[in-house]
Amino acid sequence: MNPARRFKIFETLSKVTPNPTTELIYQSSFQLLIAVILSAQATDKSVNKATSLLFSKASDANQLSKISLAEIESCIKTIGLYKTKAKNILETAKKIYSQFNGNVPNDRKLLEALPGVGRKTANVILNTIFNEPTIAVDTHIFRIANRINIAQGKTVFEVEKKLVKLTPEKFLRNAHHLLILHGKYTCTARNPKCMSCVIYELCEYKKKLI
């Protein structure tokens, strides 16, 4: 895909969604971190239900580090892999409270050293909380990047590197959320809504449909 077409795609998506952001509900950087840990292999809707209950009992790292593992499990038991995630959440809360005075660190290595936090989760926090020009490649972004040919790659990391390199600087800050939202509601995995897609005329996937 040539740079002009790629620029127009992001420009069009930005006009439709001028203030893209996560659909996870949170009141602090710590709450978003916990929500993103929970979101692996789970929908935002299911995570929001679980965190609503969890944060009503413990809203910050100090409080969450002091409740029992069983209590955390009971709050998030509707989430897949909830037992493992509960352990990670408890340990992460303890580390955030003891090592960083309850504040989520603005540092990739420190974030990835937390239990349950990998590169994708760290990218979400760096982008959403600290306004870093990072792109967390989830299933939606991986699918779209390859499908419409804005950044093709065989692995998540390969797609991430290409997107960061090829996305016009003007849109790099919001590219993560623009692509996720487009993938959730328009460029879906099955039966993408091509006929109502705002970037249909720019998309290279349509060539395969003709």
The CA-based angle 110-178-159, given to 5 degrees, is 60
Looking at beta carbons, which pairs linking 18-22 to residues 24 or more positions away fall under 8 Å? Answer: 20/174, 20/177, 20/178, 20/181, 21/128, 21/177, 22/124, 22/128, 22/177
The CA-based angle 56-36-31, given to 5 degrees, is 35
Task: Write out the catalytic residue numbers.
Answer: 120, 138
Say what the pLDDT of residue 93 is: 98
pLDDT, tens digit, 9 for 90 and up, residues 1-22: 899 999 999 999 999 999 999 9
Residue 22 and residue 39: Cα distance in Å, rounded? 12
Q: Is the pLDDT of residue 52 over 80?
A: yes
- Residue type at 135? I
The CATH number for 202's domain is 1.10.1670.10
Instruction: Mention every residue, 6+ apart, whose C-beta is less than 8 A from residue 110.
Output: 100
Residue 186 and residue 194: Cα distance in Å, rounded? 7
| 14 and 48 housed in the same domain | no
Given 128, 147, 173, the domain boundary residue is 128
The H helix count followed by the E strand count for the chain is 13, 0
Residue 38 and residue 179: Cα distance in Å, rounded? 21
Instruction: Mention every residue, 6+ apart, whose C-beta is less than 8 A from residue 25.
Output: 35, 48, 51, 52
pLDDT, tens digit, 9 for 90 and up, residues 137-172: 999 999 999 999 999 999 999 999 999 999 999 999
| 71 and 115 housed in the same domain | yes
- Residue type at 28? S
- Backbone phi and psi for residue 98, each to the nearest 5 degrees, phi listed first: -80, -35
Task: Give the number of domains in the chain.
Answer: 2
Say what the pLDDT of residue 205 is: 86
Which range of residues forms the domain containing residue 79?
Answer: 29-128
pLDDT, tens digit, 9 for 90 and up, residues 53-106: 999 999 999 999 999 999 999 999 999 999 999 999 999 999 999 999 999 999
| Rounded (to 5) percent helix, strand, coil in the chain | 60, 0, 40
The CATH number for 90's domain is 1.10.340.30
| 73 and 119 housed in the same domain | yes
| 124 and 141 housed in the same domain | no
The CA-based angle 119-124-125, given to 5 degrees, is 100
Reported pTM: 0.91
| 73 and 117 housed in the same domain | yes
